[in-house]
């Protein structure tokens, strides 16, 4: 059993942490301590315990105490227990929303979003501490430097989560609904006690801004509708993006295509993803460009067929981008197997100096007997590296790869260094690894071997992007894309 004075040290450490991080004020000290004591049924405070400086150590200690004493929170997995405790220290949604708005008005959106990010990380709503375990590197290609991350920060699934029935009538209805703010979690749904959402207005409608708990890039935010309704790429998409850019010009904002296979993982709640990050697609240059009054259209040099629009005038951008999206949604190109019923776009907007820039990545989710998973979809030979859909973030040139890769590459690393290739049963990378060993030989240094693997993983990602392109990036494919762009320009 943990001594009462040690328990008191944990409580003091958490209260000190909350005050230091700006989650509470000095006057809140007793209220916070009593909230933690009452919630966990802790003994009366005792003095003389050790000094605990790390808040995670305090949380782990309290978790052990809850388990020892049979407190119901002791049954929570570590990740959920952390969220539950941090929820006790997190300011109310109202006070955070007021502060956010106050900083926007007083100092501007850059300071406001920085403040929100810092607070979201301090409350562990955004797990920056876990994200630091992710692997990140870049791979130089003909399309510029692609960004690769191997995501090791997503927690292992709780067996209770896996067993939880999916009724479709759950509360909250999905992971994005505003009802997640302060939600105590349950099997199959994450703990969101420490989660807060910031109201913003887009095209005259109430939306919310939050940061993504799993940090794929700096200040990765999600902007979602108040109402639980399906994602849609339609006439209001572009005005909403431009409205956001006017309020947060230092962020980009983009939307996944709203169709299965080519869309993101959450299609049943209208949302965008944004953030303060420069993606590879941003540096892509134009292969060909067209002037249409105040709007410039460009066919990008990019592995996925993409139309970029640039305009200074917001209304021109709004009209043209909406018209170009509608053009694609009603465009058939039988010679490339493109049927309009399956067309959608991944849309990305950003501000560059005082101009608006929008990238429309053309998507199509048709399937065939030969390609039941999707014609414009990752080929099965690449599934050992990347199996999930290519969504918005990846279409912009940032690969989010599964954490298993970190350990699965070890046999290949050893073989490149000079050992015999010895792999576990059903190792999914065998054919690829054999090809690599033939191409590069062995006898590499550790550093060289690591470099080869990173580069080759990047090249598989590049091929995966090419698989998803509706037009291949060759002479014929480029002509196909240009024909579409010219037809869209004629309609404008």
Residues forming the site for Zn ion (CB under 5 A): 173-174, 176-177, 228, 269
Q: Name residue, tokens 């030989």.
A: 441
Distance of CA 426 to the CA centre of its chain: 30
Give the nearest distance from C-beta 229 to Zn ion in angstroms.
8
Structure tokens at 372: 């039941």
Give the nearest distance from C-beta 344 to Zn ion in angstroms.
20
Structure tokens at 398: 């940032």
Give the nearest distance from C-beta 116 to Zn ion in angstroms.
21
Nearer to Zn ion, 176 or 307 (CB): 176
Nearer to Zn ion, 200 or 222 (CB): 222
Give the nearest distance from C-beta 228 to Zn ion in angstroms.
4
Give the nearest distance from C-beta 365 to Zn ion in angstroms.
22
Nearer to Zn ion, 210 or 469 (CB): 210
Give the nearest distance from C-beta 156 to Zn ion in angstroms.
25
Nearer to Zn ion, 177 or 378 (CB): 177
Nearer to Zn ion, 154 or 173 (CB): 173
Nearer to Zn ion, 146 or 176 (CB): 176
HEC profile for the chain?
CCCHHHHHHHHHHHHHHHHHCCCCCHHHHHHHHHHHHHHHCCCCCCCCCCCCCCHHHHHHHHHHHHHHCCCHHHHCCHHHHHHHHHHHHCCCHHHHHHHHHHHHHHCCHHHHHHHHHHHHHHCCCCCHHHHCCCEEEEEEECCEEEEEEEECCCCCCCHHHHHCCCCCCCCCCCCCCHHHCCCCCECCECCCCCCCCEEEEECCEEEEEEECCCCCCCCCEEEEECCCCCCCCCCCHHHHHHHHHHHCCCCEEEECCCCCCCCCCCCCCCEEEEECCCCHHHHCCEEEEEEECCEEEEEECCCCCEEEEEECCHHHHHHHHHHHHHHHHCCCEHHHCECHHHEEEEEEEEEECCEEEEEEEEEECCCCCCCCCCCCCCCHHHCCCCCCCCCHHHHCCEEEEECCHHHHCHHHHHHHHCCCCCCCCCCCCHHHHHHHHHHHCCCCCHHHHHHHHHHHHHHHHHHHHHHCCCCCCCHHHHHHHHHHHHHHHHHC
**Residues 312, 356 contacting (CB under 8 angstroms):** yes
Give the nearest distance from C-beta 171 to Zn ion in angstroms.
11
Q: Alpha-carbon distance 354 to 367, whole Å? A: 41
Give the nearest distance from C-beta 230 to Zn ion in angstroms.
10
Nearer to Zn ion, 151 or 255 (CB): 255
Give the nearest distance from C-beta 267 to Zn ion in angstroms.
11
Give the nearest distance from C-beta 178 to Zn ion in angstroms.
8
Give the nearest distance from C-beta 172 to Zn ion in angstroms.
7
Nearer to Zn ion, 112 or 177 (CB): 177
Nearer to Zn ion, 179 or 486 (CB): 179
Q: Alpha-carbon distance 212 to 195, whole Å? A: 10
Nearer to Zn ion, 224 or 461 (CB): 224
Nearer to Zn ion, 265 or 407 (CB): 265
């Amino acid at each position: 059993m943990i001594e009462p004075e040690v328990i008191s040290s944990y409580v003091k450490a958490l209260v000190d942490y909350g005050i230091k991080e700006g989650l509470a004020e000095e006057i809140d000290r007793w209220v916070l301590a009593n909230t933690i004591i009452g919630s966990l049924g802790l003994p009366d405070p005792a003095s003389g315990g050790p000094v605990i400086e790390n808040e995670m150590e305090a949380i782990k200690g309290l978790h052990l105490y809850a388990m020892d004493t049979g407190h119901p929170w002791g049954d929570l997995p570590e990740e959920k227990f952390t969220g539950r405790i941090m929820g006790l220290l997190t300011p109310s949604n109202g006070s955070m929303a007021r502060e956010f708005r106050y900083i926007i008005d007083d100092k501007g959106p850059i300071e406001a979003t920085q403040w929100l990010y810092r607070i979201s990380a301090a409350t562990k709503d955004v797990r920056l501490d876990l994200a630091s375990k992710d692997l990140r590197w870049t791979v130089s290609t003909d399309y510029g430097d692609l960004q690769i991350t191997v995501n090791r920060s997503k927690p292992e699934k709780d067996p209770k989560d896996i067993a939880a029935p999916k009724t479709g009538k759950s509360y909250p209805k999905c992971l994005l609904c505003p009802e997640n703010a302060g939600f105590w979690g349950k099997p199959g749904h994450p703990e969101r006690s420490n989660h807060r959402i910031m109201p913003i207005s887009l095209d005259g409608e109430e939306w919310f801004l939050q940061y993504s708990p799993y940090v794929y890039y700096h200040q990765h935010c999600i902007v979602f509708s108040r109402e639980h309704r399906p994602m849609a790429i339609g006439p209001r998409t572009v005005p909403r993006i431009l409205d956001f850019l006017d309020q947060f010009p230092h962020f980009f904002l983009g939307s996944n295509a709203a169709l299965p296979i080519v869309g993101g993982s959450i299609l049943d709640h209208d949302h965008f993803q944004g953030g303060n990050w420069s993606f590879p697609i941003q540096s892509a240059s134009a292969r060909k460009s067209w002037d249409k009054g105040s709007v410039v259209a460009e066919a990008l040099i990019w592995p996925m067929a993409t139309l970029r629009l640039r305009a200074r005038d917001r209304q021109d951008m709004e009209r043209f981008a909406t018209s170009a999206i509608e053009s694609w949604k009603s465009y058939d190109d039988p010679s490339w197997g493109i049927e309009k019923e399956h067309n959608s776009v991944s849309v990305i907007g950003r501000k560059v100096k005082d101009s608006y820039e929008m990238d429309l990545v053309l998507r199509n989710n048709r399937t065939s007997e030969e390609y039941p998973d999707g014609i414009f979809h990752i080929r099965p030979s690449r599934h050992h590296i990347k199996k999930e859909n290519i969504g918005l973030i990846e279409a912009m040139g940032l690969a989010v790869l599964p954490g298993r890769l970190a350990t699965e590459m070890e046999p290949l690393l050893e073989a490149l260094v000079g050992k015999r290739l010895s792999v576990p049963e059903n190792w999914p990378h065998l054919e690829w690894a054999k090809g690599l060993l033939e191409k590069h030989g062995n006898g590499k240094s550790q550093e060289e071997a690591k470099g080869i693997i990173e580069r080759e993983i990047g090249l598989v990602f590049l091929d995966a992007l090419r698989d998803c392109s509706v037009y291949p990036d060759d002479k014929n494919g480029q002509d196909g894309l240009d024909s579409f762009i010219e037809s869209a320009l004629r309609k404008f």
